[in-house]
Amino acid sequence: MAKLYFYYASMNAGKSTNLLQADFNYRERGMATMLFTAGVDDRFEHGTITSRIGLSESAIAFDAGTDLAACVADRVAREAIACVLVDEAQFLSAAQVDQLAHICDVLGIPVLAYGLRTDFQGALFPGSARLLAIADSLVEIKSVCVCGRKATMNLRVDAEGRAVGQGAQTAIGGNDLYVALCRRHFTEALGGARVAG
């Protein structure tokens, strides 16, 4: 039985690097894959999964209206697919996560989804919440806080490096906008504000 995997972590933990390595492993063995990434992520070239260490690969950019199961079924009608890989999975809708489950359960193709668990306020993203609820396997990719503890939170900062506690759930950025911290340092940075969730 094909499985739905959710690989989650804080910012800068190597999620995209892990995804690209998994994709390479399949392709090196002559197996076709399908890659998806969030169209809203404009840090790099549109429709490209790019890691901080310089690896990149073309992908299908999804938005709220993309039917992932239909995209995969269309491709499967033309050629066998060994694996579907999804970057920035936190931006999936709950319905799209259900489509990923359909790809596993009906089409028999494993799906590896990579993304953030929580936003800058400590709240779950809709896609992550649904993945945590229905994925067959949950795998945490570890990152490190400035204190050496495991980083689990994503602190949003302004141009001067000050903590930002309010705003839209989605603000696309990298090290210029987010710092991965342990819960203790995240809470301290927000001035003792209660962590959502």
Share of the chain above pLDDT 90, in %: 57
Q: State CA 55 to chain mean position distance.
A: 16
- pLDDT tens readout for residues 15-45: 999 999 999 999 999 999 999 999 866 666 6
Q: Are strands 48-50 and 56-58 parallel, antiparallel or unpaired?
A: antiparallel
Distance, in Å, from the CA atom of 72 to the CA atom of 76, rounded to the nearest integer, reads: 6
Mean pLDDT, all residues of the chain: 88
Q: How confident is the model at residue 115 (pLDDT cuts 50, 70, 90)?
A: very high
The domain segmentation of the chain, as residue ranges, is 4-142
Residue 88: active-site member? yes
CA–CA distance from 45 to each of 41, 42, 51, 93, 175 (Å)? 9, 7, 12, 23, 18
Mark the binding-site residues for substrate, compressed into ranges: 178
Distance, in Å, from the CA atom of 157 to the CA atom of 76, rounded to the nearest integer, reads: 43
CB 100, CB 111: distance < 8 Å: yes
State the CATH architecture for 4-142.
Answer: 3-Layer(aba) Sandwich (3.40)
- Tell me the whole-structure pTM to 2 decimals: 0.85
Distance, in Å, from the CA atom of 50 to the CA atom of 16, rounded to the nearest integer, reads: 7
State the pLDDT at residue 86: 98
Mark the binding-site residues, compressed into ranges: 9-16, 87-90, 145, 147, 178, 182, 185
State the pLDDT at residue 196: 46
Mark the binding-site residues for ATP, compressed into ranges: 9-16, 87-90
Conformational region of residue 88, where left means phi above 0, alpha means psi within -120 to 50, and beta covers everything else: left
Which residue is catalytic, options 57, 79, 88, 140? Answer: 88
State the pLDDT at residue 42: 60
